[in-house]
Amino acid sequence: MLGGNITMVLRFFLIIAWIVVIILCFSIMAWIVVKISYFIRIVILVNRIPGPPALPIIGNAHQFEKEPHDFYMRFKKYYETFPSIYRLWIGPVPAVTLCSPESAEVILSSRKKHISKAHFYTFFKTWLGDGLLLSTGKKWEDRRKLITPTFHFEILNDFLCVFNEQSNILADKLDAATNQKCIDICPLVCGCVLDALCETAMGHCLGSQNNAENDYAKAVKRLAEILQELFKKPMYWIPGFFKRTQAGKEYHACLDIVHGLTSRVIRSRLEVLQKSGLDQEFNGNLGESQEERPVFLDVLLRSHLDNPEFTFDDIREEVDTFMFEGHDTTFSALSWAINIIGNHPGAQAQIHKELDDIFGNDDRPATKEDLSKMNYLERVIKECLRMKPPVTAIGRQLDEDTMIDGYLVPKNVFLMISLDAIHHNPKHWKDPDKFDPDRFLPENAAVRRKYAYVPFSAGRRNCIGQRFGMMKIKVILSTLYRRFHLKSLQNGDRETRPVSELVVRPQNGLHINVTRRSR
Q: What does each of the 519 residues of the chain score in pLDDT, given as a tens digit?
A: 555 566 776 777 777 888 888 888 888 888 887 778 778 888 899 999 999 998 888 888 888 877 888 888 999 999 999 999 999 998 888 899 999 999 999 999 887 777 777 776 777 788 888 877 778 778 878 888 877 776 766 667 778 889 999 999 999 999 988 888 899 999 999 889 988 888 888 877 778 888 766 788 788 878 877 877 777 676 777 767 888 888 888 988 998 998 888 888 888 887 777 776 544 444 444 344 444 556 778 878 888 777 777 888 888 888 888 887 888 889 999 999 999 999 999 999 999 999 999 999 898 999 999 999 999 999 999 999 999 999 999 888 888 899 999 999 998 888 999 999 999 999 999 999 999 999 999 999 999 999 999 999 888 888 888 888 899 999 999 999 999 999 999 999 999 999 887 789 999 999 999 999 876
User: In this structure, are strands 93-98 and 414-418 parallel, antiparallel, or unpaired?
Assistant: parallel
Kindly give, in sequence order, each residue whose CB lies less than 8 Å from that of residue 179, ignoring residues fewer than 6 positions away: none
Where is 417: in which H helix or E strand? Answer: strand 414-418
Residue 51, SS3?
coil
Alpha-carbon gap, residue 397 to 17, rounded angstroms: 42
Residue 513, SS3?
strand
Nearest CA-CA partner of 373 in 392, 358, 352: 358
Alpha-carbon gap, residue 82 to 89, rounded angstroms: 15
CB atoms within 10 A of CB 388: 24
The full set of domain ranges for the chain reads 48-516
Could you give the C-alpha distances from 370 to 158, 262, 297, 498, in angstroms and in order? Answer: 14, 34, 27, 33
- Angle, vertex CA 220, rays to CA 215 and CA 224, nearest 5: 145
Alpha-carbon gap, residue 507 to 497, rounded angstroms: 5
Alpha-carbon gap, residue 94 to 397, rounded angstroms: 12
Quick one: how far is CA 409 from the chain centroid? 25
Cβ pair 140, 130 in contact under 8 A = no
pLDDT of residue 51: 93
Q: Please report the beta strands in 59-189, taking only residues with DSSP state E, as ranges in sequence order.
A: 85-90, 93-98, 183-184
Indicate the class that CATH gives domain 48-516: mainly alpha
Alpha-carbon gap, residue 188 to 154, rounded angstroms: 29
pLDDT of residue 283: 41
Alpha-carbon gap, residue 367 to 373, rounded angstroms: 10
220-245: b (≥16 Cβ within 10 Å) or e: bbbbbbbbbebbebeebbeeeebeee
pLDDT of residue 155: 67
Residue 485, SS3?
strand
pLDDT of residue 371: 94
pLDDT of residue 239: 67
What is the DSSP code (8-state) at residue 365? P
